[in-house]
Structure 1
Amino acid sequence: MTIADTQAHLEALQHHLADLLREVQTVIVGQDDVLRGIVTCLLAGGHGLLEGVPGLGKTLMIRTLAAAVDLSFARIQFTPDLMPADIVGTSVLVDRPGGGRELAFQPGPIFNHIVLADEINRATPKTQSALLEAMAEGQVTAAGKTRALPEPFLVLATQNPLEMEGTYPLPEAQLDRFLFKIDVPFPGERELLAILDRTTGTRSAAARPVLDAPTLLEMRRFVRAVPVVPSVAEYVVRVLRATHPDDVRATDLVKRYVRFGGSPRGAQAVLLAARIRCVMDGRKSPSIDDVRAVAPSALRHRVILNFEGEAEGIAIDKVIAQVLTSVPADADRSRS
C-alpha cells in the first residue's frame, strides 16, 4: 500500500467514524469517552465490559450502535436461572415436510453480530462460561457440532457495581477475554437537562444505518496494519511488567496492593487500542500519549488487587495511573 493509499484509507476511516459517532449521538447524550471506548472494541474485534449504576443508558447505547452499523443485535438478560442453552441454543423436535419428526438445532441469541450480556454477573459461573468459547474463538459447540458465529461478532456486557448481593463475580480468566472495561460515569447537569429534553417530550430519535459489516471488517484490517515504532511497543511492555509486584519497575502501590499484574492479552489490548486511538485522531502511528490514554481501560480488569488492597478500597485506576507516571518513555532511562 502506497503512502497516498494509506492517506486515502485513513481519511475514509475517519469519515466513517465521524458519521457513526454523530449518528449515535442523535440518540445518546454525552458519554463521549464511553462511546469512543465501545467503538474501539468494535474496530479492534474485542469485547467490552461496561460498568455503571442502573439508568445510565448502557443498553440504549449498545442498541443504538448496532442500529447505526446495520448489524443484528440481541440482548440477553442474565439471571440466576439462565442456562447455557438459553445462550447458545438447543435441539428441538420439528415436523418433517414428508411426515415424522426430527431433531433440529435452534440457534440461541449468541448468533448475532452484537450481543448485549446485561448484568452478566447475575448468572451462575456455568452460564457465564458459555460465553468463553464464543468470545475467544468466534464459534460455539452445541448439539455435538461446532458452529461459526457471524462476522463481525462482538459481546458487550454490563454489570452494576452497587448491587453485589446474589451476584457471581466474573473470574479472572473470563475478565481477561474483554478488551476493555469501560466505566460509565453519571452525567453532569447539562447532560441531564438534555436527556430530559429528549426523553420526556414528543420527539423521539432513532439511529439510521451509516456503516455496514463489510466496511467495518475492512476498517478492522486497516487499523491492524497501522505501523508502530519499536519504542512505543517497548513502552507497552515496560508498563505491563510494572503492574507485577515482583518486577523491578513495580511502584509502591503495586508492591503493596497488587496480587497479579496484567496478562500478555493486556499488552495486546493496549497496543491495538493505541493504534485505533491514533487513527481516530487522524494520525498514522500511535504515540506514548495514546498508550497512556487507553491503558486504564485495557488494564483495570486485568490487574488484580490482593486482600489488603481490597480491604482498604484501593482504586485500581490509581494504581495504574502511578505505573504510567513512573515508567519512563525512554528505555535507556528505564534501565538506569
Structure 2
Amino acid sequence: MSMTPEQATWFSDVFGRLVAGVDQVLLGKTFVVRLSFTAMLSEGHLLLEDVPGTGKTSLARAIAQSVQGTSSRVQFTPDLLPGDITGVSIYDQRRGEFEFHRGPVFANVVLADEINRASPKTQSALLEVMEEGRVTVDGISHDVGRPFMVIATQNPVEQAGTYRLPEAQLDRFIMKTSIGYPDHAATVRILAGSATRVHEGSIPPVVRADVVTEMAQLARTVHVEPSINDYVARLVEATRTADEVRLGVSVRGALALVRCAKTYAASSGRHYVVPDDVKSLAEPVLAHRIVLDPEAEFDGVTPSSVVSQLLIETPPPAERVAV
C-alpha cells in the first residue's frame, strides 16, 4: 500500500517540527539537520567527518531529545575494548549465574566520537548492531530497541594514531556529511547565548520514539516509479566505470539512495519520489562508498567531485507519470 497525500502532509509537518527544534541548538545548519533526520527515518546511520567544536555532540543529543529518546556517547580511544561498547556478562556470586550489563550502544541515538581512533576490532563491534539492531554477547542476542541510530564522527585533520575505517564498515553508514563552521550571523547568535553551557540546553520533545518508528515504516511506502529506479541504477553503474574510480558503489548503496529519497520526498509533503530527491541526496549517500584510484586521489580528485560530475553526465527521467 502506497503512502497517501494526507499521510505525506502529516509526515512533512512532523518532520518540519523535528528540524525546527534541533535548529534551535545547531544554528544555521538546517540542511545537515534535515539529512540527519532523513538518515534516522530511513533506519540508517550517519557519519560526520568534521573538525572538533562544530556541534557534533550537540546534534546527537538534540535529536535524541526531540524524539523523546535516550542518547549515549562513546569516546573512542586506542585502548577501548568491544565490551566497552556492547556490554559484558559479569558473574553474580549471590545468584550463581552471569548477568549481562548493557553497554552504551543500548540507546536510541549513539554518538561514536572519533570512531577512527579505536582499533579495527573495536570498530567491528558496531557492525552487527548497525546492520541488525542487536548485539551478541556470549552467544546470546540482545535487541537494542527502536528507533536506533549511530552518529559516528571522525577528525579529518589529525590522522596520527588513527585507524582508517574499512570500506565494509563505511558501507554500513547510510550517509556521510559534515557540519562545518557556522556563518557570521549564526556565530553572533551563538556568542549571544554564551552564558548557557552547550550541554545544559534542552529542547522539548516533538514526538515519542514509537512515532519515529511508525514514520520510518510509513516512509517505506512512498511511491517510486520504475524510471526513478532506472535513474539510480544508471548513477550507481556510472560510479563503477568512471576513470578515477577503483571501486564503485555497491547494490547496498543504491538501495540506501532509494530509501533516503523516499524519506526526503515524504519530508517535502510528497507521496512520490522525483529526480531532485535523488540529486539532493546522491553526494552524502554515495560519495563515501567510492574508492578512488590512487593517481586520481593524488591529483586532487574527491569522491564528492566524482558524484557531482556523474550527476551532470547522467540524464534524469524526463517526466513523471501521474500516481
Matched, 1:279 2:277: no
Letter in 2 for 1:183: S
Q: Does 1:61 align with 2:59?
A: yes
Letter in 2 for 1:70: Q
Q: What SS class does the counterpart of residue 289 from structure 2 fall into?
A: coil
**259-268 vs 305-314, which moves further:** 305-314
The separation in 1 between residues aligned to 2:223 and 2:7, in whole angstroms, is 14
Q: Deviation at 1:95?
A: 4.6
Kindly report the root-mean-square deviation, in angstroms, between the aligned alpha carbons of the 2 structures: 1.8
Moved more, 75-84 or 109-118: 109-118
- Structure label with greater radius of gyration: 1
Is residue 105–residue 143 contact of structure 1 (8 Å, CA) maintained in 2?
no
1:7: Cα distance to partner? 2.5
2:92 alignment counterpart = 94
Pick the aligned partner of 1:164 from 159, 164, 169. Answer: 159
CA 1:184/1:26 → structure 2, altered by over 3 Å: closer, same or farther? closer
- 1:73-95 deviation line (CA, Å, top 9, x unaligned): 11110000000000111111335
1:183 correspondence with 2:178: yes
Shift of 1:182: 1.2
Q: Which residue does 1:251 correspond to in 2?
A: none
Task: Using the TM superposition, give the Cα deviation of residue 205 of structure 1 relative to its aligned residue in structure 2, in angstroms.
Answer: 3.8
2:224 to 224, 228, 251: 228
Identify the match of residue 27 of structure 1 among 25, 28, 34: 25
Look up the SS of the partner of 2:131 in the other structure.
Answer: helix
2:113 corresponds to 1:115: no
CA distance in 1, matches of 2:254, 2:173: 13
Alignment partner, residue 70 of structure 1 = 68
Within 2, Cα distance between the matches of 1:199 and 1:94?
47
Which one-letter code corresponds to 1:50 in the other structure? L
Structure 1 unmatched ranges of 5 or more: 246-253, 332-336
Higher relative contact order (CA 8 A, sep 6+): 2
CA distance in 2 between partners of 1:298 and 1:15 (Å): 24
CA distance in 1, matches of 2:283, 2:197: 40
Instruction: State which of 190, 209, 213 in structure 2 corresponds to 1:213.
Output: 209
Shift in Å, 1:284: 1.9
SS at the partner of 1:279? helix
**Runs (4+) off by over 3 Å:** 200-205
Q: How far 1:200 moved relative to its partner?
A: 3.8
1:151 and 2:181 equivalent?
Answer: no
Deviation string, structure 1 residues 202-242 (Cα, Å, up to 9, x no partner): 99641111111221111111110001111111000000000
1:259 and 2:246 are equivalent in the alignment: yes
**Aligned AA (1:220):** A
Number of aligned pairs? 317
**2:10 corresponds to:** 12
How do 1:133-148 residues align onto structure 2 when only pairs under 5 Å count? 133-148=128-143
Contact persistence 2:9–2:270 (CA under 8 A) = no
Counterpart of 1:270? Answer: 257
Alpha-carbon distance change, 242 to 197 in structure 1, aligned in 2, over 3 angstroms: same
- Which shows bigger deviation, 111-120 or 192-201? 192-201
- Matched to 2:65, the amino acid is A
- Distance, in Å, in 2 between the alignment partners of 1:146 and 1:103 is 14
Residue in 2 that maps onto 1:329: 316
TM-score by length of 1: 0.90
Q: Deviations over 1:263-285 (max 9, x none)?
A: 11111111111111111111221
Contiguous gaps of at least 5 residues in structure 2? 319-323
Shift of 1:102: 3.2
Q: 1:51 maps to what in 2?
A: 49
Partner AA of 2:283 in structure 1:
P
